[in-house]
Amino acid sequence: MRSRKIAGRYELVEELDAGAMGQVWRGYDAVLDREVAIKLILPELISYPEHAEVLTRRFRREARVTARIGHHGVPEVYDAVLERSVAHLYLVMELVHGTPLTRFISSEAPLPISWVASVVAQICTVLSYAHAIPVVHRDLKPDNLMVAADGTVKVLDFGIAAILRPDVTRLTEAGVPMGTARYMSPEQVQAVQVTPRTDLYAVGCILHELCTGEPVFDGGLNGARLMWQHLFEQPRRLGLLRGDVPEDLERLTLELLAKRPEDRPADAQEVFERLIPFLPAPGERPEVAERGGARLPDPTRPYRNPCAPRPRPDQSLVEQSDAEPVSAGEALEAIADAEAESDELLTEDRYTQAADVLNAVLKAASDALGSDNQRVLRLRQRRAAILVIGGDVRRALPEFDRLAAAYARVAGPADVDTLECRRQAAYCRAELGQGTVALEELRQVLARFRAERGDGDETVLDLRRDIGYLLAAEGQRKDAVAVLEPLHDDFSVIYGPDDARTLEIRDLLARLQPPGT
């Protein structure tokens, strides 16, 4: 019997797993002569054929961002195949041979501390690369982690949660909580802003579970109870559950599980560095672990043969491209051509290339027209916006900062372009987990717009909403309520009580209320 083939090249050979989002098959790429993993997104997650088209485009966009992670711990994503006749969406990926992390976990046979530290440190190594973009996983859990035969920890399904989420802006991504309840951060429970520190909370849940064999919180079959525990209950100390857990490892776990994102470690690199004392030394003999009579792959191997996370990026560098001198007229013509080409690339969701096309003419245009020329500033602003759309906020942030300073020099600190660039820089900071700085920046921008336009202006309303959401994401519930309650009243008057935007704020306010109120 011949295997079923999709897209004329990928053969479905053997079903490997089935989960909440779909089935995973071992497949074969007949064109490149290699094994692949093929994930079938469940048809019930696709409402109608047009929805499948939207998901396919979203997948390609997110896959391009994910591909930039460039770490061996992230399986490559090769293709998205849509069978229009049945509205089936298949994701074609690197096939990983290994053991799911779930098979490591046992309350009756605790894992050696060096094993636990090795698994979590490898996860942090992957996250250091992903968060540098930044790409936030959103659904880290043992089911999405695999220990390959060589001991490498593979982080699966990067971008899948983002692909299936509602197509709304990232900062206002409020509404339905996304993630797995047992590993869901407080900000995910509230369905507000997620940042790299959201993944760190899940790392804390995984670290706790690997050490003890038990989840941080156990709401039984009551999902609402479990979410309430993430919001309000303190986790049990590891030392009470397992006597040989070092105090420093217990302290790290508790910090990772902090309710407020900014109370967690600064980034994955810090977590990695704090795990170093518990990692095996180079050349040290491995500790063998078994489950069900089978020897498990050894995640300590990369540290007995050391590896390290990616260095933190230097945001002080200004991107430039080599360019021959041109006249002012030639510069204007080159800008127009680059913008037209960039527009074509954007229609195909090719954000990185669209931004690079604009960057290629910036140096020559700046030299010919002047660095503070309005045409040059607009080109830079357009490129920075494309970087944000493409998920590359870490590169966009310093450019928006420089643009805000340039517009302030040219037109003054109250100029609309100055304020808009400051606003976009704040959004980038929020995305990168710098919530306190982002809030201060947004408040200053709001004060400027409010003084000029009043509370009913659309930009002012958007800023008030974003500040409220960010306060909620930072765990500042009282302050968030103080912002969102009057905003809800204003939305009810301006848009109507049944408008989707009004209802969204009402629902968030309900989630922010303490239990029993």
Q: Give catalytic residues, as residue numbers.
A: 139
Q: CA 148 to CA 260: how far, in whole Å?
A: 34
CB atoms within 10 A of CB 369: 20
Q: CA 251 to CA 238: how far, in whole Å?
A: 9
Q: 349 vs 71, 130, 279, 391, 466, CA distance in Å?
A: 23, 20, 42, 12, 26
Number of H helices, E strands in the chain: 19, 11
What single string gives the DSSP state of each residue in 56-103? HHHHHHHHHHHHTT--TTS--EEEEEEETTTTEEEEEEPPPPEEEGGG
Where would I find the beta strands (DSSP E) of 94-170? Answer: 98-100, 145-148, 153-155
Q: CA 303 to CA 295: how far, in whole Å?
A: 19
262, two tokens: 């900014």
Q: CA 438 to CA 459: how far, in whole Å?
A: 17
Q: Is 109 left (phi over 0), alpha (psi -120 to 50) or beta?
A: beta
280, two tokens: 């095996």
Q: Is the C-alpha dihedral spanning 390, 394, 400, 402 positive or negative?
A: negative
Name the residue among 108, 413, 445 with its Cα closest to residue 291: 108
312 DSSP 8-state letter: P
